Structure 1
Amino acid sequence: MAEKPIYKDPQQAIEERVKDLLLRMTIAEKVGQMTQIERSVVTLDAMKNQFIGSILNAGGSTPRSGASAEEWADMVDGFQRWALESRLSIPVLYGTDAVHGHNNCYGATIFPHNIGLGATRDPNLVQKIGEATAIEVRATGIPYTFAPCVAVSRDPRWGRCYESYSEDTETVRKMTTIVQGLQGSPPQSHPKGYPFLASRKNVIACMKHFIGDGGTKGGINEGNTVGSFDELHSVHLKPFLDCLDQGVCTAMASYSSWNSMMLHSHHFLLTQVLKHQLGFKGFVISDWEGIDRLCQPQGSDYRFCISASINAGIDMVMVPHDFQKFIGDLTFLVESGEISMTRIDDAVERILRVKFVGGLFEHPFTDRSLLNLVGCKMHRELAREAVRKSLVLLKNGKNPNKPFLPLSKNGGRILVGGEHAHNLGYQCGGWTITWYGIGGQITQGTTILEAIKAAVGMNTAVIYEENPTETSFKTQEFSSAIVVVGEKPYAEFLGDDPKLELSPKAIETIELVCSKVPTLVILLSGRPLIVEPLIEKMEAFVAAWLPGSEGAGVADVIFGGYEFHGCLPRTWFKRVDQLPMNVGDSNYDPLFPFGFGLKMNLKNQ
């Protein structure tokens, strides 16, 4: 009877298992492990004979439209079976962008985007959200999420502003507890920088985007962050240090540049700082086609892109489609000596380490007992709590001695209007079901209108008109109004916005309704927008950010069931010509300062 290989023995130390498996691997198998491909191009041959190490799905790339959690699990398990047919039976690592809940899966709980969580200032809540997200992701067979984003966003014009918890480094640092939620809490004795995963109910996390993507000039996505290393360290690096302390397993390189050198080819930051100085033992993954960006200033030499990124310290490459060319070119570069076997072995060692830490060799398939927890009541209640705590009250009554909120839910006629009042897709924002997000009933959840109707008593009439007109007020009377407006969904560069203005339709609705009846305006957005001089016309103004699937959290607060808890995670500017403007700046002259948030003083009502 043949002796069991060390790498297949769970009783052996992880480092011994990694060493044993690495010694058994061919160049082809090593190159395959460094390759991550999109689910739509996966084949049996790719998994069995080209030894693909990882699979991901793009935003909106699903088993089918509206696929159930079970269908997701069936797909992922099918890919895993193919991977285990390879010569050494190395399990594949499937990853997804679960950045505010399992947002690609229909019916999953969608939590507020990070900017809203930053407004809560509640690290314990964020950790619980990580735990719930991990369970829902694991229930679909997926062991890896490309989260959290721990960027410190210094300019709201950036299209990924809502993926950042705050403009303030210390606030972002507090929110890194989500890593413990996703991966579990490592013991105090756990070596710093070494990857950790507590159980099969946890998922492998990814700190991103390393480093400085929130500081680009003009808030341009994939732009250039300018400054000294000390500035980079004091503003942008510290949240990554906290993630390392918690045993984060992977890191994603940023599309952006530091002092005009792209991070995907930055040996100093990826290797000397992250891996050597900070002792990171997990693996570094590229962003989507991230190495291809290196070709743009260099022409069309794809081999240059591969060589520059791998030699800089990228371990796994998100190809994601034309993996045959990537594998062929990377193999050529190794055989020609342009990329050393030492560098290849280091990359594969890191990838295998994470797979062993993640328990994939012992438990490669879905734990189907978790399926009934996807979108469950307990998780939705947690999301509802997060919405309540994320709301920031910015104005409450034109007369400070006569607050407008809370609204009465017993008697009266409430007009509800605005494009965002009854649109779940707008409420969830980008990275929801599709990459950039879309409007409509895109998944299961409660709109703000539905929540308002459910909250009021039988003696209160709720009249919904998405676009109220003069005629609306000539034919009927209202005691108050709620107007819900904001940004339409976007992601990444599609969200870069040099103007940060409300739409003409939103402005028209606010001006009309506020002129006719005392009005609460609720803004759904991924960042502050220009609200002067409109705010003078409002009786009350609430920033609700991008609350996700549980709109009931909004109704809970505006009707006085709960006090306002949130405070601004970023400065609310007056004009875009003030930007960038962050707390502590010498030119600080905001409309509302960082940390601002009113209370209703419910105990005195």
Structure 2
Amino acid sequence: MRTLVNLTLLLANCLFTCLSVKAAEFTKYRDQADKLISQMTLAEKIGQMTQAELSALGDLSDVADLYLGSVLSGGGSDPQDGNSLESWTNAVEACKQKALDTRLRIPILYGIDSVHGHGNVLGAVIFPHNIGLGCARNAELVEQIGQITALEVRATGINWSFSPCITVPRDDRWGRTYEGYSESSPLVAKLGKASIEGLQGPDLRNPDHVLACAKHFVGDGGTSLTMAKHEDWPGFGSEAKPMYDQGDTVVDEEVLRAVHVSPYLLAIQAGVGSIMPSYSSWNGVKCSASKYLLTTMLKEELGFQGFLISDYDAIDQVDPDYKTAIKKCINAGMDMVMVPNNYRQFIELLTELVEEGSVPMSRIDDSVRRILQVKAAMGLLDAEPEIEVDKSLQESYGSAGHREVARQAVRESLVLLKNNNQTLPLSKKLKRLHLVGRGADDIGIQCGGWTIEWQGQAGEVTTGGTTILEGIRQALGDSVEITHDLDGAGSAGADAVVVMVGEMPYAEGLGDDHDLELSESDRQAVLSAKKSGVPIVVVLLSGRPMILDTTLELADAFVAAWLPGTEGAGIADVLFGDFEPTGKLSFTWPREVDQHPINQGDQEYDPLFPFGYGLSYAKDADR
């Protein structure tokens, strides 16, 4: 670890010469921001620091009456008249218009979690989750994905994406592991930078791009097991449960900087305009209340000149007393606060804190200045800011061209872990191919969490796209009989069997898993298929490495497909040899769950598959 720390600090020193160049892109708007600040009342300033959720705003009058600086739609939160391109466009335009009904006509920022494409909105292209993109290791492709995501987000009028997640997951039992590109900080930094450059483009004033948000600062991927309860979350009761999510990262500062802070150096170099502090703690102190992390380190030392946006209701966790929580959070350096439903009380109490002198006006002005500088960089403070969506962007929304890029991302993210007797690629001249498992024909399962709903969902068609079964049918045409069942009972008599196993959709909290075992039904399906005596290909759909036990032994070939998104045809591209498997593991694959946490560079490193492992057809034909 000492070597890693030293190398990271050396990288940091080399980068500082570049950081000030990007910072100046925001600070050059200081005069414009200060001119507005000089005209603003305290209510108008605090309004700029407040972000409310669309679903809580009713007739939207509060956007104007409270001078709100931002609105968001959380995971699964749709406009009142439904989830469609038109509904989203109308809702966002209405919010923008309300903001311009105020005295100073300062436009809003509208934020959304487009973490693997514009995942809240029906018909958008959904890309592989970051864990798969980490295996692809293609920075140019990640940048292109950012560009397409920006175009589809802008097609709904939204101008701010809460992405990329540049966490460095160190324990796969954490339910947000798939949101991280890798356990390797340098790889996370490289791909995070590419994503930011794709989302924001070279000029934030370009209406084809959006404001990016690097998250979650800092150490969210290094939390230890804690007991926690989330009574307001669906699926949680009132009892505390063992969880990694939103926990405590207990490491010294050298490790924190080397592993978890280092990706933010390249994010700042890329000019990211916003950063979201983590729910989690560092050595017992909530990141959202740490002046050392938010102000001393991030703003002063690292030179971040954008603004900080809190996570969803994160301020509630800072202190049992809400007013005290607000004081701690703002004084620590938080600039904008995500208070989806409780925005009125937040405004009231922050106003009291300023009037009492508990929060200095200088801290308020600094927050507002940062927010306005970013808005100015985006062109939002121009004389006539745009309200209506550029409808020409909607012509490419969910288009074949965008889906082709997603399909490329799917095939490049696949990792071939086993291929005995050259089982793969499969021949396109089979008489009958049998597919097994629910995941073979379920868009929701292959997309995972943060897709239409916050936790994702399986079952009925979730959104547009191509299931794996449909992709295989397209690849083989009518010349091959393709059959499908859930349990493998129909495998006998086929020429080959592809068994889909893996996880049901989940997101933060509910995704924490202390066993990481395949379900009994999955194991039985593989066993049933094996009894047919024909070649068995197992494809794993998961947000992290799973404990494979005998399933790997039973498989003649094994492919880690992660959470590929809407373009299931990308899997068929590789299974039938139209493209080589090129993915390399971005995470270490453990033999058993008790090895967690296990990461490259550990003193005792005995994985099932090491970081960087991945077979190909040409080079590993003898395996």
Which TM-score applies when normalising by structure 2? 0.90
Residue 171 of structure 1: how far off its partner (Å): 1.1
Aligned equivalent of 1:308: 328
Q: Given that residues 427 and 548 in structure 1 are in contact (C-alpha distance below 8 angstroms), is that contact kept between their aligned partners in structure 2?
A: yes
Structure 2 residue 427 is matched with structure 1 residue 403:
no
Residue number in structure 1 paired with 2:452: 433
Say whether residues 1:367 and 2:390 are aligned partners: yes
Q: State the partner residue of 1:322.
A: 342
Contact 1:411 1:457 in 2 (8 A): no
How far the C-alpha of 1:217 sits from its partner, in A, is: 1.4
Secondary structure of the corresponding residue to residue 478 of structure 1:
coil
The one-letter amino acid of 2:426's match is L
| 1:531 corresponds to 2:548 | yes
1:545 aligns with 2:545: no
Q: Does residue 557 of structure 1 match 2:574? A: yes
Q: 2: CA distance between counterparts of 1:94 and 1:546?
A: 27
The CA deviation at 1:458 is 3.2
Aligned length: 572
Q: How does 1:468-507 map to 2 (within 5 A)?
A: 468-469=488-489, 472=490, 477-507=493-523
Q: CA RMSD in A?
A: 1.6
Q: How does 1:265-344 map to 2 (within 5 A)?
A: 265-295=289-319, 299=320, 301-344=321-364
Partner of 2:155: 139
Counterpart among 426, 432, 435 of residue 413 in structure 1: 432
Q: Aligned residue for 1:127?
A: 143
**Per-residue deviation at 1:45?**
2.8
Stretch moving more, 529-538 or 460-469: 460-469
Contact 2:53 2:72 in 1 (8 A): yes
Runs of 4+ in structure 1 over 6 Å off? 602-605
Q: CA deviation at 1:294?
A: 1.3
Q: What is the DSSP-based 3-state SS (H/G/I as helix, E as strand, rest coil) of the residue aligned with 2:498?
A: strand
The 3-state SS of whatever aligns with 2:88 is helix
Match of 1:466 among 483, 486, 494: 486
Q: In structure 2, what residue type is equivalent to 1:572?
A: W
Please tell me whether the aligned partners of residues 414 and 462 of structure 1 are also in contact (alpha carbons under 8 angstroms).
Answer: yes
Residue 73 of structure 2 corresponds to: 57
Does the aligned pair in 2 maintain the 1:560–1:602 contact within 8 Å? no
Q: Matched residues in 1 for 2:169 and 2:60: separation?
A: 42
Taking the aligned partners of 1:64 and 1:425, their CA distance within structure 2 comes to: 23
Matched, 1:39 2:54: yes
Query: Which moves more between the two structures, 594-603 or 350-359?
Result: 594-603
Map Cα deviations across residues 64-84 of structure 1 (whole Å, 9 max, x no partner). Answer: 576222321111001111110
Q: What per-residue deviation string (whole Å, max 9, x for no partner) do you get for residues 152-181 of structure 1?
A: 110100110000000011111120211000
Distance 1:120 1:273 in 2: 32
Mapping 1:163-174, distance limit 5 Å: 163-174=179-190
Q: Which residue of 1 aligns with 2:462?
A: 442
Measured in 2, the distance between the counterparts of 1:361 and 1:496 equals 43
Residue matched to 2:224: 217
Residues 37 and 318 in structure 1, CA contact (< 8 A), matched pair in contact too: yes
Distance of aligned partners of 1:57 and 1:373 in 2 relative to their CA distance in 1, 3 Å threshold: same
State the percentage of identical aligned residues.
49
Structure 1 residues 198, 181: CA separation in 2 closer, same or farther (over 3 Å shift)? farther
1:17 maps to which of 7, 32, 40? 32
Shift of 1:15: 1.9
Selected match of 1:391 from 395, 398, 414: 414
What is the CA–CA distance in structure 1 between the aligned matches of 2:315 and 2:107, rounded to whole Å?
25
**505-514 or 381-390: bigger deviation:** 505-514
CA distance in 2, matches of 1:262, 1:33: 24
Deviation at 1:603, TM superposition (A): 11
Match of 1:600 in 2: 617
196-205 or 502-511, larger mean C-alpha shift: 196-205
Q: Is the 8 A contact 2:487 2:528 kept in 1?
A: no
Pick closer, same or farther for the CA change 1:406–1:213 going to 2, 3 Å: same
Which deviates more from structure 2 when the two are superposed, residues 426-435 or residues 456-465? 456-465
TM-score normalised by L of structure 1: 0.93
2:43 maps to which residue? 28
Q: Which runs of 5+ in 1 are unaligned?
A: 1-11, 186-195
Secondary structure of 1:483 counterpart: strand
Partner deviation per Cα, 1:301-322 (whole Å, 9 max, x = no partner): 1101100000001110000102
Report the counterpart of residue 240 of structure 1 in structure 2: 264
Distance 1:505 1:483 in 2: 12
**Partner residue in 2 for 1:376:** 399
Deviations 1:545-575 (A, max 9, x none): 0000000000001100000010101000011
Report the Cα offset of residue 13 of structure 1: 6.1
